[in-house]
Amino acid sequence: MTTAPVKSNVPSRSGLKAWLSSDAPASRGHARAVQLYLGWLKLYENKLAFLGFLIIFSLVLIAAFAPLLATTEPNAQDLSKRLLAPGTSGHLLGTDELGRDIYSRLVYGSRITLLIVGIVAFTAPVFGLLIGTVAGYLGGWVDQVLMRLVDIFLAFPRLVLALAFVAAIGAGIESAIIAISLTAWPPYARIARAETLTIRNADYISAVRLQGAGIMHIIVGHIWPLCLSSIIVRVTLDMAGIILTAAGLGFLGLGAQPPEPEWGAMISAGRKFVLDQWWVAAMPGMAIFIVSLGFNLLGDGLRDILDPKKSQS
């Protein structure tokens, strides 16, 4: 006795591309899949943006598999091998003043960089989004008070303000993360407020309000989703500045403390050898440059993909 083959709702590989390119999605999940696929195609077509994506993806892989990629322990010292040039005695990028392998320290330092970027990216935008949408939706004296608070934070350079917070809290990687988060949220608040002012009087917002929805329900459920695209683009573009601020704090000895392999601290330790043993400071500086460039390229690509005005022009 033969049985009829069971039909599956999952499209076959040959039909997957057509399913992802459908002009008439069958469900909300299907529509999101189509939107993600079309966004991926736009990102892939933008070669510079795709290069930025590859750089960031490589950074994530390096941080995840640091124990496998590193050739030695990042803090292992060998004074007999101090200040070796790149490629000498199996040290790909040379050694520092204590004989530590620079390549291994860069690999493990990527974890600190991703930790700072990740925590700041999930705290500062959320706080700024909350402040900006509340100010834009409520208006009046609430808007005036919150925006003047934003102006106060924006009046100081980010690094200077971060230095003040770290000086008050104390040096360390945790203090650096808190300080950077406290100085990174004002631009997101301004963007969210501007977006909220354009949609707070829309018909669908009025309809939701007439149905009895509360203020926070309207803000979180109906205004936040429309602000996310602008916030995501700003977050990606801000990551380079966040990395440089973290490196600046590390360079001044206020970020990650020795012997942690933080890239800014590595540059600080190698600045005294910059004329003769240039690689000690140049290698972590090159790592900061490449990662910052990757975030900037990816941010430009995401702006082209997520900005509806650019897609229509």
Return the SS3 of 11. coil
> What's the chain's average pLDDT?
85
* Residue 212, token pair as written in the block: 């009895």
Q: Is residue 6 scored above 50 in pLDDT?
A: no
Tell me if the bond preceding 259 is cis, omega within 30° of 0.
yes
Q: How long, in residues, is the chain?
A: 313
What's the maximum distance between 2 C-alpha atoms anywhere in the chain? 84
pLDDT tens-digit profile of 67-85?
999 999 998 888 888 999 9
User: In the beta sheet, which residues pair with residue 101?
Assistant: 95
Please check whether residue 272 is in contact with residue 27, taking contact to mean a CB–CB distance below 8 angstroms: no
Phi, psi of 88, rounded to the nearest 5 degrees: -90, 130
Q: What is the pLDDT of residue 234?
A: 87
**157: Cα within 13 Å, side-chain hemisphere:** 7
Model pLDDT, residue 211: 84
Q: What is the pLDDT of residues 232-245, one digit of tens each?
A: 888 888 888 889 88
Q: Is the pLDDT of residue 189 over 70?
A: yes
User: DSSP for 255-268?
Assistant: SSPTTS--HHHHHH
Q: Is 78 helix (H, G, I), strand (E, B) or coil?
A: coil
pTM of the model: 0.84
Cα–Cα distance for residue pair 170/254, rounded to 1 Å: 8
91: helix, strand or coil: strand
pLDDT for 1 equals: 47
Cβ atoms of 227 and 204 closer than 8 Å: no
Backbone angles phi, psi at 91, to 5 degrees: -95, 105
Residue 296: pLDDT above 60?
yes
Strand spans (E) along 29-69: none
Compare 90 and 3 and report the one with higher pLDDT: 90
Report the b/e string of 254-277 with b at 16+ CB within 10 A.
bbbeeebbbbbbbbbbbeeeeeeb
DSSP tag of 4: P
- The vertex-60 CA angle with 182 and 311, nearest 5°, equals 75
Q: Answer whether residue 60 shows pLDDT above 90.
A: yes
Alpha helices in 91-185 (DSSP H): 102-138, 140-154, 158-169, 173-184
Contact 108, 74 (CB under 8 A): yes
DSSP type of residue 248: H
Q: Which residues, in sequence order, are CB contacts of 95 under 8 Å at separation 6+?
A: 78, 81, 82, 83, 84, 101, 102
Residue 309 has pLDDT above 70, yes or no: no
Q: Are 203 and 255 in contact (CB under 8 A)?
A: no
Q: What is the pLDDT of residues 244-273, one digit of tens each?
A: 888 888 888 888 888 889 999 999 988 888
CATH topology of domain 54-312: MetI-like fold (1.10.3720)
Domain assignments of the chain as residue spans, ordered by start: 54-312
